[in-house]
Amino acid sequence: MPLLPEYDLSGKVAILATTGGDQAPHLALALSEAGALVFTIARRQSHLTAVLQALEGSSFANRGGVVADLATTQGTSLAMEAFDHHDSPVDILVNDVQSMFAKPFDEITMEEWDEVQSRNLKSTFLLTQAVGRRMVDKQYGRIVNLVSGLAERGMINTSAFSASQAGLLSLTRSLAVEWGRHNIRVNALGTGWTTAEDIPLEVQQEELLVRYTPLHRKGHPRDIAPLLVYLCSESCDYTTGQAVYVDGGLNAHP
Amino acid sequence: MLDKLSLDGKTVIITGGGTGLGLAMVRALARAGANLAIAGRRQGPIDDAAAEVVALGRDAIAISTDVTDSTQVERLVTTTITHFGQVDVLINNAGAVQENVSKPLWDITDDEWHMVMNVNLTGPFYCSRAVSKPMSEQGHGKIVNVASGFGLRAGRDIYMYCCSKGGLIQLTRVLSFNLARYGVTANTIVPGFIPTSSTESDIRGTLPRSGDFLPIGKLGTPEDLGPIAVFLSSEASDYMTGEMFFADGGGLAAGLGPTGHAPLVALEP
* Reported ipTM: 0.92
Look at chain A and count its residues: 254
Instruction: Tell me, yes or no, whether B259 lies in a domain.
Output: no
**What mean pLDDT comes out for the span A8-19?**
97
DSSP state of A124: H
Q: What percent of chain B has pLDDT over 70?
A: 93
Q: Reply yes or no on whether the pLDDT at B8 is more than 80.
A: yes
Among A180, A226, A239, the residue with its CB nearest the CB of B236 is A226
Return the pLDDT at B262.
83
Q: Would B171 be classed as within a structural domain? A: yes
Does some domain include residue B263? no
pLDDT single digits (tens) A130-145: 999 999 999 999 999 9
- If pLDDT is split at 50, 70 and 90, which confidence band does B256 have? low
pLDDT at A234: 98
- CA distances A75 to A71, A79, A111, B8, B198, Å, are 7, 6, 19, 46, 53
CATH architecture of A10-248: 3-Layer(aba) Sandwich (3.40)
Domain presence at residue B136: yes
Residue A167 three-state SS: helix
Q: What digits encode the pLDDT tens for the residues B35-57?
A: 999 999 999 999 999 999 999 99
Q: Which residues from chain B sit within 8 angstroms of residue A177, using beta carbons?
A: 215, 250, 253-254, 258-259
Across the interface, whether the CB atoms of A4 and B28 are under 8 A apart is answered yes
Backbone torsions φ then ψ of A20, nearest 5 degrees: 160, -175
Contacts of A218 (CB under 8 A, 6+ apart): A192, A193, A194, A195, A199, A204, A210, A248
Q: Is residue B153 part of a domain?
A: yes
Q: What's the average model confidence in pLDDT over B156-171?
A: 94
pLDDT tens, residue by residue, B90-119: 999 999 876 556 788 999 999 999 999 999
Listed range (A181-195, A206-220, B92-106, B255-269) with the worst mean pLDDT: B255-269
What is the structure's pLDDT at A20?
A: 82
Q: Does A251 touch chain B (CB under 8 A)?
A: yes
**Rounded to 5 degrees, what are φ and ψ at A143?**
-120, 130
The residue ranges of every structural domain in chain A are 10-248
Of A30, A173, A214, the CB nearest to B1: A30
Measured in whole angstroms, the distance separating CA B204 from the mean position of its chain's CA atoms is 20
Tally of domains in chain B? 1
Name residues whose C-beta falls within 8 Å of residue A96's C-beta, 6 or more positions apart in sequence. A16, A17, A18, A19, A21, A23, A24, A27, A146
Nearest to B31 among A1, A4, A30 (CB): A4
pLDDT greater than 60 at residue B203:
no
Q: Which domain holds residue B34?
A: 2-254
Whether B102 is covered by a domain: the verdict is yes
Nearest to B220 by CA among B179, B264, B242, B190: B190
Amino acid B259: pLDDT: 66
Half-sphere exposure of A202 (CA within 13 A, CB side): 0
What distance separates the 2 farthest-apart alpha carbons in chain B?
Answer: 73
In a domain, B264, yes or no: no
Cβ of A181 and B217 within 8 Å?
Answer: yes
Task: List the one residue out of B83, B73, B74, B82 whose CA is nearest residue B50.
Answer: B83
CATH number of the domain bearing residue B216: 3.40.50.720
Average pLDDT over residues B177-196: 96
| pTM for the model | 0.95
Q: Tens digit of pLDDT for each residue in A111-166?
A: 999 999 999 999 999 999 999 999 999 999 999 999 999 999 999 999 999 999 99
- B204-240 pLDDT, tens digit each: 566 777 888 899 999 999 999 999 999 999 999 999 9
pLDDT in tens, A49-78: 999 999 999 999 999 999 999 999 999 999
pLDDT of residue B119: 96
Whether A28 shows a pLDDT value over 70: the answer reads yes
pLDDT score, position B205: 63
Distance (Å) from the C-alpha of residue A81 to the closest C-alpha of chain B?
31
The pLDDT score that the predictor gives to residue B199 is 66
Farthest CA pair distance, chain A:
54
